[in-house]
């Protein structure tokens, strides 16, 4: 105490400069500044793009009349016969599921090679990553177009298109999960003399399985929404029926099928979140009231620590037979159901297995049609302008998506939401928005606003809120809660805590997700062009319908380069803002 | 003190560097069949690194290692796995696969006997399952066989890990700080269990610890490490109080640690005094 009462005048000589001068300068990183400027430039370009597209609310209100006229002409929704409808639903769900599972199966070895802790060498790793990026960049519509030429019509082109295109995302997320495992159990199996394969099966797989299943379910939802557009290039299912209906100007039926697809997507989203919840429920027990209603709390085995030995555990001999506990019943039921669903999907898809033998013969012929790439009778400058339009649509949509999804996503995060009710509502809204296939949104908007970029931008922006909002909510929930508690303890308000503890921790993820959004939007913008949303997609559809496949290749290459540039930018940003 | 043929484990001038840091410096050691040896030292003294070398989980920068008659650093693939299957390893963090059942975790100890990966319980033979259940019974956890391993307490998990190691039918048991993550009661249980099993199965045990008192009361022989060097090698049979304090002095390094040791010493000297009295009577 005496030390404290003695003022430290001896140290503070008047000559001493102030703290502000002595404090070290904030280090300036050229790379960080460059990355910041790039972000800013993208943002400005996005805003300019929004301006260019000319979204005006008054114009939309005015053209609401169009919609009323249109609706009057539709004269009410109509649906296919119930039996037909049931069959179409089963077919669509079946082919999407088989395609997603095909992608999952192909992704396992790719992820193993791509993950830094399992890859046999850097060469393998680079190759596996490249396969991932390439398959992600090839739009599934284009793959479907090519496969429709090689296979007889039916589900196989769709399954293969989904199967190959989904490898990109699934293998990346599988690899991320492998990289996040606890290495200990794997080391223990190595120490016991296990081989590499045994290490994988017993040490890695059980750890990544919940995350892998979640990834596959998530991708399955995306693919179901995407299956609509596959119908436009001849893949069987609800999408094909819808495209027929619209082409024959039977709007009532077209919109009816669109409604069915929407409901199907929402139902699928709920089912997959239930399955995810059931799998995660064994690990985590903090859930919102919605989750609790949906699936009651699982009793942990530690809670029911019985002092008495159960009968089966009398001796090792009697314990060889595993007892049928409630947990085992539930797990077995789950597994049996999953297997039945998969078998059912394969049966429903009516895969023409003979195609696998005949398509090799057609392969060189089809490949020759697609090569060499050429713009044909389109002007190169017109194509580049169209590509620029597509990028502009994607940028504008991404910029428009950012703010609403940040708000909605934050409200949906349990550590940010002011209450469980607000969180439940936000999550529900996100699911609802995510359920709408962008294509259907675009078709409706084209009806309201007329052909052009405006419909595309709005469709993508709305659809994006569902995806980006969910990703933001999940990343915000994953941040370390410690700093938040610390700030609360300091007396910070909820908003201050959010700004100073939650967001800074989630920043890298936010930037990463925004670029993922841009990347998704560029591909989606292409697809929307197919239904009149503007941009390069229109030419893509024209070229494929006119059987000018070398033009298709040229356009795809253009898209590929653009997507790869965005991918590179995203990687750089993630590296700089870590 | 041992003839070369008698030694199950032999290290000769083993040095290991990671980048610029030296984890082991010219370490030489022989352990003969049936010995219970404790590697004693603070964290970072090289105990874990030494243990990991014995199982081929690390390759030395220089020096020779012979375990069960095999030159470990030269082993690869099948031969390395064959050696590892005869050496059980107990980890500080247990390292069970959390989402697998207790029984399946024990069964992974028999993976080296079978070819190819195993998914789920049905991948293992009935004989293997029975053997695994017997080991579980032995560590007192038979009734937990079909629970997820992450529902067990730390002490229980470590006992499962011991059952897993027994599943390998090992000649040697290596334990890396087996009780550092456990409460005192579970620690006592686990340490007693290891000794008991070692005696029954005639195992050779090399165990790393950082608690001097525990090491003295548990081991047959103590090997002290400091900054990667072996600084002490003594049987624990007849330690005098002075020798105990000597051990503390050698193993502790910084003044803060020595001060902490001195605090602890007041307790241990009482213990040792009682021990001496008990021996005398």
> For residue A297, what pLDDT is reported?
44
CA torsion, ordered A509, A170, A183, A332, to nearest 10 deg: 120
More confident residue, A420 or B265: A420
Residue A96 resides in a domain: yes
Mutate to test the interface with B, among A201, A207, A319, A332 (most CBs of B within 10 A): A319
Residue B123: name the closest of B139, B140, B110 by CA: B110
DSSP 3-state assignment of B22? Answer: strand
Most confident of the ranges A183-187, A269-273, A357-361, A573-577: A183-187
Indicate whether A256 and A291 sit together in one domain: yes
DSSP A502: I
Mean pLDDT of the residues in chain B: 87
Indicate whether A186 and A334 sit together in one domain: yes
The minimal CB distance from A192 to the residues B84, B121, B143 is found for B84
Indicate whether A475 and A358 sit together in one domain: no
Indicate whether A286 and A355 sit together in one domain: yes
- Cα A421 to chain centroid distance, Å, stands at 26
Is the CB of residue A235 less than 8 Å from the CB of residue A228? no
- Cα–Cα distance, B13 to B112 (Å, whole number): 30
Quick one: closest CA in B to A192, which residue?
A: B85
Indicate whether A469 and A422 sit together in one domain: yes
CB-CB neighbors (< 8 A) of B153 in chain A: 302
- Cα A144 to chain centroid distance, Å, stands at 20
Confidence class for position A155, pLDDT limits 50, 70, 90: confident
- Mean pLDDT of the A98-119 span: 95
The minimal CB distance from A319 to the residues B57, B142, B147 is found for B142
CB-CB neighbors (< 8 A) of B57 in chain A: 187, 190-191
Alpha helices in A350-452 (DSSP H): 355-370, 380-412, 420-435, 438-449
DSSP 3-state assignment of B225? Answer: strand
> For residue A16, what pLDDT is reported?
66
Quick one: closest CA in A to B127, which residue?
A: A320
Is the CB of residue A185 less than 8 Å from the CB of residue B99? no
Confidence class for position A444, pLDDT limits 50, 70, 90: confident
Among A64-68, A301-305, B27-31, whose mean pLDDT is lowest?
A301-305
Quick one: closest CA in B to A319, which residue?
A: B133
- Mean pLDDT of the A62-67 span: 71
Record: contact A187-B57, CB cut-off 8 A: yes
**Which residues 6+ apart lie within 8 Å of B235 measured at CB?**
B220, B221, B222
DSSP 3-state assignment of B106? Answer: helix
> For residue B268, what pLDDT is reported?
59
DSSP 3-state assignment of A452? Answer: coil
CA distances from A393 to A56, A137, A457, A520 (A): 15, 18, 5, 12
Mutate to test the interface with A, among B111, B145, B171 (most CBs of A within 10 A): B111
A502 half-sphere exposure, CB direction, 13 A CA radius:
26
- Cα–Cα distance, A318 to A310 (Å, whole number): 11
Quick one: closest CA in B to A328, which residue?
A: B146
Is the CB of residue A115 less than 8 Å from the CB of residue A175? yes
User: Which of A340, A370, A400 is where one domain is finished?
Assistant: A370
B87 half-sphere exposure, CB direction, 13 A CA radius:
33
- Cα–Cα distance, B49 to B28 (Å, whole number): 14
Residue B244: name the closest of B220, B227, B222 by CA: B222
DSSP 3-state assignment of B196? Answer: helix
> For residue B80, what pLDDT is reported?
92
Quick one: closest CA in B to A187, which residue?
A: B95
User: Which of A318, A351, A370 is where one domain is finished?
Assistant: A370
Q: Looking at chain B from residue 55 to 94, which residues have their Cβ under 8 Å from any Cβ of chain A?
A: 55, 57, 81-89, 91, 93-94
> For residue B254, what pLDDT is reported?
57
> For residue B265, what pLDDT is reported?
60
Burial (0-12, 13-18, 19+ Cβ within 10 Å), A62: exposed
Among A526-535, A566-575, B137-146, B261-270, whose mean pLDDT is lowest?
B261-270
Whether B257 shows a pLDDT value over 70: the answer reads no
Is the CB of residue B16 less than 8 Å from the CB of residue B227? no
pLDDT (tens digit per residue) in A264-315: 988 988 888 788 777 765 444 444 444 444 444 444 444 444 567 788 888 8
Most confident of the ranges A54-68, A263-277, A322-336, B185-199: B185-199
CB-CB neighbors (< 8 A) of A316 in chain B: 130, 133-134, 136-137, 142
> For residue B120, what pLDDT is reported?
83
Record: contact B146-A325, CB cut-off 8 A: yes
SS3 content of chain A, % helix, strand, coil (to 5): 75, 0, 25
Residue A18 resides in a domain: no
Whether B262 shows a pLDDT value over 80: the answer reads no
Residue B72: name the closest of B92, B50, B44, B47 by CA: B50
CB-CB neighbors (< 8 A) of A315 in chain B: 137, 142
- Mean pLDDT of the B165-185 span: 93
- The DSSP line for A172-230 is HHHHHHHHTS-HHHHHHHHHTT--HHHIIIIIIHHHHHHHHHHHHHHHHHHHHHHHHHH
Residue % of chain A over a pLDDT of 70: 88
Is the CB of residue A227 less than 8 Å from the CB of residue A92? yes
Q: Looking at chain A from residue 254 to 283, which residues have their Cβ under 8 Å from any Cβ of chain B?
A: 282
- The DSSP line for B198-217 is HHHHT-EEEEEES-HHHHHH
Element (H, E) at A523: helix A503-530
- Cα–Cα distance, A442 to A528 (Å, whole number): 7
Record: contact A193-B83, CB cut-off 8 A: yes
Query: Which long-range contacts does A245-248 make (Cβ < 8 Å, 24+ apart)?
Result: A246/A443
> For residue B266, what pLDDT is reported?
64
Indicate whether A276 and A338 sit together in one domain: yes
**Which residues 6+ apart lie within 8 Å of A297 measured at CB?**
A281, A285, A287
CATH number (domain holding residue A421): 1.10.3720.10
Is the CB of residue B226 less than 8 Å from the CB of residue B65? no
- Mean pLDDT of the B152-163 span: 94
Whether A468 shows a pLDDT value over 90: the answer reads yes
- Cα–Cα distance, B101 to B145 (Å, whole number): 7
- Mean pLDDT of the A88-95 span: 93
- For residue A571, the tally of other CB atoms under 10 A from its CB is 13
A192 in contact with B at a CB cutoff of 8 Å? yes
In angstroms, the separation between the Cα of residue B235 and the nearest Cα of chain A is: 29
Residue A384 resides in a domain: yes
Q: What is the ipTM of this complex?
A: 0.82
**Range list of β-strands (E), B33-138:** 36-40, 62-67, 70-71, 87-90
CB-CB neighbors (< 8 A) of A189 in chain B: 108, 111
Is the CB of residue A508 less than 8 Å from the CB of residue A570? no
CA distances from A167 to A175, A364, A435 (A): 11, 24, 22
A200 in contact with B at a CB cutoff of 8 Å? yes
Element (H, E) at B235: strand B229-235
Confidence class for position B122, pLDDT limits 50, 70, 90: confident
Indicate whether A58 and A116 sit together in one domain: no
Q: Structural domain of residue A548, as residue ranges?
A: 29-62+380-578
Indicate whether A278 and A332 sit together in one domain: yes
Indicate whether A403 and A258 sit together in one domain: no
Residue A427 resides in a domain: yes
Indicate whether A50 and A134 sit together in one domain: no
Question: Looking at the DSSP assignment, which residues form a beta bridge with residue A513?
Answer: none
pLDDT (tens digit per residue) in A501-556: 898 888 888 888 898 899 888 888 887 777 666 678 888 878 877 778 888 888 88
- Mean pLDDT of the A342-354 span: 86
- Cα B110 to chain centroid distance, Å, stands at 19
Residue A303 resides in a domain: no
Mutate to test the interface with B, among A191, A196, A199 (most CBs of B within 10 A): A191
| Angle between helix A503-530 and helix A453-477 axes, rounded to 10 deg | 150
> For residue A3, what pLDDT is reported?
45
Query: Cα A27–A28–A29 angle (5° rounding)?
Result: 115
Q: Is the peptide bond before A354 cis (omega within 30 degrees of 0)?
A: no
The minimal CB distance from B147 to the residues A185, A189, A301 is found for A301
| Six token digits for residue B84 | 């590892």
The minimal CB distance from B93 to the residues A184, A192, A300 is found for A184
**A–B CB contacts, 8 A cutoff, strictly below:** 123
Residue A15 resides in a domain: no
A123 in contact with B at a CB cutoff of 8 Å? no
Provide the domain count of chain A. 2
In angstroms, the separation between the Cα of residue A318 and the nearest Cα of chain B is: 9
Is the CB of residue B51 less than 8 Å from the CB of residue B70? no
The minimal CB distance from A206 to the residues B99, B116, B136 is found for B99
Most confident of the ranges A434-438, B65-69, B118-122: B65-69
Record: contact B98-A185, CB cut-off 8 A: yes
Quick one: closest CA in A to B124, which residue?
A: A320
Mean pLDDT of the residues in chain A: 83
Residue B109: name the closest of A549, A192, A13 by CA: A192
- Cα–Cα distance, A126 to A128 (Å, whole number): 6
Indicate whether A336 and A442 sit together in one domain: no
Q: What's this model's pTM, rounded to 2 decimal places?
A: 0.80
Whether A576 shows a pLDDT value over 90: the answer reads no
- Cα–Cα distance, A268 to A290 (Å, whole number): 17
Question: Looking at the DSSP assignment, which residues form a beta bridge with residue B232?
Answer: B224
Residue A321 resides in a domain: no
Residue % of chain B over a pLDDT of 70: 88
pLDDT (tens digit per residue) in B58-77: 999 999 999 999 999 999 88
- For residue B101, the tally of other CB atoms under 10 A from its CB is 20
- Mean pLDDT of the B41-50 span: 88
CB-CB neighbors (< 8 A) of A322 in chain B: 121, 146
Query: Cα A277–A283–A286 angle (5° rounding)?
Result: 70
CA torsion, ordered A480, A482, A483, A488, to nearest 10 deg: 130
Confidence class for position B104, pLDDT limits 50, 70, 90: very high
Quick one: closest CA in A to B132, which residue?
A: A316
Residue A300 resides in a domain: no
User: Which of A317, A350, A370 is where one domain is finished?
Assistant: A370
Question: Looking at the DSSP assignment, which residues form a beta bridge with residue B22?
Answer: B17
Indicate whether A473 and A340 sit together in one domain: no
């Amino acid at each position: 105490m005496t030390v404290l009462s003695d003022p430290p005048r001896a140290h503070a000589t008047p000559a001493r400069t102030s703290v502000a001068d002595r404090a070290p300068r904030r280090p300036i990183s050229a790379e960080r500044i460059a990355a910041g400027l790039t972000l800013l430039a993208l943002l400005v370009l996005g805003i300019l793009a929004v301006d260019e597209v000319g979204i005006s609310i008054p114009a939309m209100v005015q053209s609401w009349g169009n919609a009323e006229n249109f609706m009057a002409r539709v004269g009410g929704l109509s649906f296919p016969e119930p039996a037909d409808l049931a069959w179409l639903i089963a077919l669509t769900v079946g082919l999407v599921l088989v395609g997603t599972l095909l992608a999952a199966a192909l992704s396992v070895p790719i992820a193993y090679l791509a993950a830094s802790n399992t890859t046999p060498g850097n060469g393998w790793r680079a190759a596996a990553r490249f396969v991932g990026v390439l398959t992600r960049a090839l739009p599934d519509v284009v793959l479907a177009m090519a496969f429709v030429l090689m296979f007889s019509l039916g589900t196989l082109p769709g399954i293969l298109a989904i199967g190959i295109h989904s490898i990109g995302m699934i293998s990346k997320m599988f690899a991320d999960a492998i990289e996040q495992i606890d290495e200990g159990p794997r080391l223990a199996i190595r120490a016991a003399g296990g081989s590499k394969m045994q290490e994988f099966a017993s040490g890695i797989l059980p750890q990544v399985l919940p995350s892998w299943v979640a990834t596959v379910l998530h991708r399955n939802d995306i693919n179901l929404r995407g299956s609509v557009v596959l119908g436009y290039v001849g893949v069987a299912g609800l999408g094909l029926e819808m495209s027929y209906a619209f082409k024959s100007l039977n709007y009532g039926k077209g919109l009816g099928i669109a409604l069915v697809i929407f409901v199907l997507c929402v139902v699928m989203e709920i089912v997959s979140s239930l399955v995810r919840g059931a799998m995660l429920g064994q690990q985590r027990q903090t859930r919102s009231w919605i989750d609790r209603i949906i699936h009651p709390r699982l009793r942990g085995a530690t809670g029911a620590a019985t002092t008495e030995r159960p009968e089966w555990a009398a001796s090792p001999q009697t314990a060889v037979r595993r007892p049928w506990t409630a947990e085992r019943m539930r797990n077995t039921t789950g597994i049996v159901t999953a297997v039945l669903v998969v078998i059912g999907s394969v049966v429903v898809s009516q895969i023409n297995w003979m195609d696998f033998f005949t398509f090799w013969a057609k392969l060189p012929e089809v490949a020759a049609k697609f090569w060499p790439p050429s713009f044909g009778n389109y002007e190169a400058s017109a194509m580049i302008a169209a590509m620029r339009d597509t990028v502009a649509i994607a940028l504008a949509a991404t910029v428009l998506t950012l703010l609403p999804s940040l708000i909605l996503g934050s409200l949906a995060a349990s550590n940010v939401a002011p209450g469980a009710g607000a969180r439940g509502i936000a999550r529900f809204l996100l699911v609802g928005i995510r359920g709408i296939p962008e294509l259907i949104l675009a078709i409706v908007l084209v009806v309201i606003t007329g052909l052009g970029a405006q419909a595309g931008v709005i469709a993508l922006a709305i659809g994006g809120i569902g995806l980006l909002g969910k990703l933001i909510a999940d990343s915000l929930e994953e941040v370390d809660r410690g700093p938040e508690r610390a700030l609360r303890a300091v007396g910070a308000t909820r908003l201050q805590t959010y700004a100073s503890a939650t967001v800074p921790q989630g920043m890298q993820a936010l930037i990463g997700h925004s670029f993922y959004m841009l990347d998704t939007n560029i591909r989606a913008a292409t697809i929307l062009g197919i239904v009149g949303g503007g941009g390069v997609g229109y030419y893509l559809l024209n070229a494929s319908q006119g059987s000018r496949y070398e033009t298709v290749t040229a356009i795809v290459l253009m898209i590929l380069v653009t997507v790869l540039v965005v991918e590179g930018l995203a990687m750089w940003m993630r590296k700089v803002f870590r | 003190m041992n003839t070369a043929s008698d030694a199950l484990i032999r290290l000769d001038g083993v040095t290991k560097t990671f980048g610029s840091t030296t984890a082991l410096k010219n370490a030489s050691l022989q352990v003969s069949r049936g010995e219970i040896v404790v590697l004693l030292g603070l964290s970072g003294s090289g105990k874990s690194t030494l243990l990991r070398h014995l199982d081929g989980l690390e390759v030395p920068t220089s020096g020779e290692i012979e375990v069960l008659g095999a030159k470990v650093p030269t082993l690869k693939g099948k031969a390395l796995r064959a050696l590892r299957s005869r050496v059980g390893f107990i980890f500080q963090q247990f390292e069970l696969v959390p989402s697998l059942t207790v029984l399946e975790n024990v069964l992974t100890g028999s993976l080296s006997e079978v070819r190819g990966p195993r998914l789920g319980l049905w991948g293992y033979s009935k004989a293997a399952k029975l053997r695994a259940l017997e080991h579980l019974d032995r560590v007192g956890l038979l009734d937990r066989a079909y629970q997820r391993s992450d529902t067990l307490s730390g002490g229980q998990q470590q006992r499962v890990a011991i059952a897993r190691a027994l599943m390998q039918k090992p000649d040697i048991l290596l334990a890396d700080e087996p009780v550092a993550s456990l409460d005192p009661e579970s620690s006592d249980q686990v340490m007693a269990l290891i000794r008991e099993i070692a005696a029954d199965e005639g195992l050779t045990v090399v165990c790393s610890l950082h608690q001097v008192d525990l090491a003295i009361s548990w081991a047959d022989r103590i090997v002290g490490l400091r900054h990667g060097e072996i600084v002490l090698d003594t049987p624990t049979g007849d330690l005098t109080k002075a020798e105990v304090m000597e051990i503390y002095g050698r193993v502790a390094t910084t003044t803060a640690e020595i001060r902490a040791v001195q605090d602890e010493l007041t307790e241990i000297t009482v213990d040792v005094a009682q021990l001496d009295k008990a021996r005398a009577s």
